[in-house]
Amino acid sequence: MSKKDPRFFPNPSEPCPCGSGKILAQCCRHFDGTVFKEPSPIRPPGPRTGYSHPRCYLNFTQNCCSKISGEHFVSHGILRRIGQSVSVMGAPWLTAGEIRTYATKNLTANILCVRHNSAFSDVDNAAIQLFKFVNEVHAVLSQRSLSRKKKFYLVSGDDLEMWATKALLGLFHSQPKDTTLAEYSIDRSVVEKLIRTARLPKGCGIYLNARLGTRRVHNENEITVGTITLKDEMRLIGLVIDIGSVSVDFLMDPFGVSSLQRSKKLYRPAHLMFEGRGKAHVIFICWSSDHCKDGVVFTLNKR
Ligand SMILES: [Zn+2]
Ligand SMILES: [Zn+2]
């Protein structure tokens, strides 16, 4: 990992780097020429139903439908790509460093109504795209080819954070068996406010684990989710999410922001660049509120 300027001069008539299939000029290009992907809504469409499903954790919004969804907390779209298991690491019920792989079906919990779950489908898609992009870039870089053309990708950071919120709430509410997760709590007022406003509290969100010079191993098609807790308060405040070589901390509760070792983290990074064999590809992450202008470079080791 190191730092470098990604130099991005997009051609408006080329396909949009967000992967929509449209050309950039008709997709994520603002009138001022900048490239920006708008955050997706997380509120179910149409008027409020007035119904609260007793098993839906978003029932405080009184906007449920009567059917419960069997969605996994990590999102089915990602699990379909990984296979049928997900690694859970560093959870409060595991000893330090222990990684356990759970079969998808064991962690499927009926914790969101269908209406609320489908309202999250666009933010799920952002996480699926990032997962796909990271794996694609690694695959392209490890192939021998003569093409030196830089590839650009674009994801909405706001959407990634809402997806992480859904993953955190999902993990908490699914209460996997034989765990002590039930002894932990989350701050309900934080959750209620963030769902209503679709904004995280100040200082919360994604922090890229970016200690320069660190070696990271890319495990293809692997996603690892761990929890960040405050032991004294028995409070669940965030997640550690590893997607291939990319590791981020996600903080939902402002209570934990001060205890974070910020010097080794990059708050809402602007890009992830991957280079190797004379090629470089860049995943841009766009943010609608305060973020840093920097990104990091992952350099593929020659083998
Ligand atoms: Zn686009
Ligand atoms: Zn609901």
Tell me the three state secondary structure of residue 267: strand
**Average pLDDT for residues 70-85, to the nearest whole number?**
67
Q: Are strands 68-69 and 112-113 parallel, antiparallel or unpaired?
A: antiparallel
Query: What is the CA(10)–ligand 1 centre distance, in A?
Result: 12
Q: What is the pLDDT of residues 132-172, one digit of tens each?
A: 898 888 888 887 776 777 888 999 999 999 999 998 898 88
pLDDT of residue 191: 93
Confidence of residue 8 (pLDDT cuts 50, 70, 90): low
State the helix-helix crossing angle for 157-174 and 121-142, rounded to 10 degrees. 110
pLDDT of 242 > 90? The answer is no
| Distance separating alpha carbons of residues 85 and 38, to the nearest angstrom | 31
Lowest mean pLDDT among 20-34, 168-182, 202-216, 259-273: 168-182
Query: What is the CA(20)–ligand 2 centre distance, in A?
Result: 28
Q: What is the pLDDT of residues 90-134, one digit of tens each?
A: 555 455 555 666 655 556 678 899 999 999 988 988 988 898 898
Query: What is the CA(29)–ligand 1 centre distance, in A?
Result: 7
Q: For residue 283, what are the β-bridge partners?
A: 153, 272
| Distance separating alpha carbons of residues 100 and 89, to the nearest angstrom | 6
Report phi then psi at 156, rounded to 5. -85, 120
Query: What is the CA(51)–ligand 1 centre distance, in A?
Result: 35
The structure's pTM equals: 0.88
For residues 123 and 42, the answer to whether their CB atoms sit within 8 Å is yes
